[in-house]
Amino acid sequence: MTIEEAEPVPVPDNAGVKVRSRSLTLAEQERVKSMQRLANAPDRPTYLALQQEVAQQLNMTVRNVQLLMKAWQTAGVDGVVRQERSDRGERRLDEDWSDYILETYRAGNRGGRRMSRAQVAVRVAARALEIGDSHPSSRASVYRVLQSEMDRQEERSRSRSIGWSGETLLLKTREGLEVEVKESNQVWQCDHTRADLLVVDQMGEVLGRPWLTTIVDTHSRCIIGINLGMEAPSAVVYAASTTGTCPLLVN
């Protein structure tokens, strides 16, 4: 194997005077010191010996050391340290793919259905194969896109759920108002959910999925009333849910 010889190069004028916005890591400091040693080699034999030593010290080939030295000669410290990306931490994903990932996840978690991030990643891979995209979004990219969506959903769910703050039970409304719940029958909560089943008539004709309406006492979590029917949520359905309910709770 023939090792390309290189002449010693002078220290660049801008070395050591570059003002940096961050401190150098230990590995970067080691690179800078190695380049300074090479640049200060008094003669060619010493330079070649140092070149081999630096290659072993930095765990790289002699060719890479030579390229590093050229970068040092051209740009000084900035040439031999890792440059931070201006978009570091941001998603670098095609906007169309981001929209497809979000739409697939939202559609898969609508109407009582559940779709995981892994299932979305499978859909993305299948879609890429279908349209002939040779560089589809990786599973990690899919997870990264969906993380913010999942965080928003969790925040919305948390903002409308009850929780204890010390000795106080607080209910946060959709408008962000906090209601202190001190006793039973003070606040009732009503929820309408599509039941995960289909209703058919006597002839076997599918009528659709029924609505399950539940009314819960916020303080005791007792079920105040329920209603199962085909009617969409309304004041009438709410009234039907309270018909024949249990007597008011006594603290």
Q: Distances in Å between the alpha carbon of 124 and those of 108, 147, 151, 153, 191?
A: 13, 16, 21, 21, 34
Letter for the amino acid at 25? T
Give the residue with greater pLDDT, 178 vs 160: 178
Mean pLDDT of the chain: 76
Flag whether pLDDT at 83 surpasses 70.
Answer: no
Q: pLDDT of 46-68, one tens digit each?
A: 888 888 888 888 888 888 888 88
Query: From CA 126, how far away is CA 108, in angstroms rounded?
Result: 16
Query: From CA 187, how far away is CA 180, in angstroms rounded?
Result: 10
Q: pLDDT of 183-239, one tens digit each?
A: 888 888 888 888 888 889 888 888 889 998 888 888 888 888 888 888 888 888 878
Per the CB < 8 A criterion, the answer to whether 214 and 191 are in contact is yes
Which of 220-227's residues contact partners 24+ apart within 8 Å by CB, and which partners?
220/184, 220/249, 222/184, 222/246, 222/249, 224/188
- Whether the CA torsion 8, 10, 12, 16 is positive or negative: it is positive
pTM here is 0.33
- pLDDT score recorded for residue 84: 53
**How confident is residue 22, by pLDDT bands cut at 50, 70 and 90?**
low
Q: pLDDT of 89-129, one tens digit each?
A: 444 567 788 888 889 988 888 877 788 888 998 888 888 88
- pLDDT score recorded for residue 197: 87
- Whether the CA torsion 221, 225, 226, 229 is positive or negative: it is negative
Provide the β-strand partners of residue 217: 188
Give the residue with greater pLDDT, 84 vs 178: 178
Q: Distances in Å between the alpha carbon of 180 and those of 116, 158, 162?
A: 36, 16, 10
Per the CB < 8 A criterion, the answer to whether 168 and 180 are in contact is yes
